[in-house]
Amino acid sequence: MTSEKNGGAGSRSEGAMAEDQLKAAAQQGAATLRVLPADGPAIRELPDEELMFQHAAGSEAAFEELVRRHQRPVLGYMHRMVQNRQIAEELTQEVFIALVKNAARYQPTAKFTTYLYAIASNIVSKEWTRRKRRPKLFSLSVWRTKDEDEFDPMEHVGDDRANVLTAFQKGEVSEAVNAALKELPEHQREAFVLRRFQDLSYEEIAEVTNAPVGTAKSRVVRAERALRPLLERFREYI
């Protein structure tokens, strides 16, 4: 996971250390369930559910593939929920550590993404409870760098006009979305983010948030209604 803190020459980044911790946890928590045949499909071709079984059986490669696929979306979700990069990175790491701890008990009763965001939602709720206050928001634009590997929380904004004006407007959209999300109650914000940014269905949102489907729909509709006037002048970008 990406970290902005760098040590002296020869020191390792916090992100590299976090990855090592996750790998170590995966090895310690692995259970022998089933092993992928040597002539079976490549790791990257396996569905998430099968990767979880392989991870539980001790496959470090399967766990790394799950992280590769889902780390960035989960980080985006966490950032929009807590609006603090450092905390979002820490909570994202907690999500994948939870996958390690629960691997042996995993059963594919729902889509893997539903299972994953249910874990993430629970971790966010605990964070909010710990803080006893709404998360403090700050500018999304401070995240943008020229490094392709850096997470860009506005990747969902689609615009073919790659020019200076577009880049400037994109930054404005980041600021506007950030400020608008701050105005939403937590449950509405979560439902809206899961629907709009993570592309979960209403049924999946209901499972993730432990609410009736009708409630999930209502929260999204209310969030959209509240956000519409706040983002009116950015309709062509979002």
For residue range 161-216, what is the model confidence (pLDDT) as tens digits? 444 445 445 567 767 777 788 889 999 999 999 998 899 999 999 999 999 999 99
Domain boundary among 79, 111, 136: 136
Would you state the pLDDT for residue 88? Answer: 93
- In terms of domains, do 188 and 155 share one? yes
- Asked if residues 55 and 49 have their Cβ atoms less than 8 Å apart, the reply is no
Say if residue 6's pLDDT is above 60.
no
Domain boundary among 74, 103, 136: 136
- In terms of domains, do 123 and 184 share one? no
Please report whether residue 214 resides in a domain. Answer: yes
Which pLDDT band, with edges at 50, 70 and 90, does 110 fall under? confident
How many whole angstroms separate alpha carbon 191 and alpha carbon 197? Answer: 10
Please report whether residue 57 resides in a domain. Answer: yes
- In terms of domains, do 120 and 197 share one? no
Helix intervals (H) in the chain: 14-29, 48-56, 60-82, 85-102, 112-131, 164-182, 186-196, 202-209, 213-227
Please report whether residue 164 resides in a domain. Answer: yes
- In terms of domains, do 91 and 132 share one? yes
- The CATH code of the domain that includes 47 is 1.10.1740.10
Q: What pLDDT digit, counting tens, does each position of 58-103 carry?
A: 999 999 999 999 999 999 999 889 888 899 999 999 999 999 999 9
- Asked if residues 75 and 88 have their Cβ atoms less than 8 Å apart, the reply is yes
Please report whether residue 6 resides in a domain. Answer: no
Q: How far is CA 69 from the centre of its chain?
A: 10
Q: How far is CA 47 from the centre of its chain?
A: 18
* Residue 167, both tokens: 């880049």
Kindly write down the DSSP assignment for every residue of 136-165, as one continuous string.
PP--GGGG--S-TTS--TTTT---S--SHH
- The CATH code of the domain that includes 223 is 1.10.10.10
Range of the domain at 176: 150-238
Q: What pLDDT digit, counting tens, does each position of 31-43 carry?
A: 334 444 544 568 8
- In terms of domains, do 69 and 106 share one? yes
Please report whether residue 71 resides in a domain. Answer: yes
Domain count, the chain: 2
In whole angstroms, how far apart are CA 49 and each of 42, 63, 109, 159, 164? Answer: 14, 11, 10, 34, 42
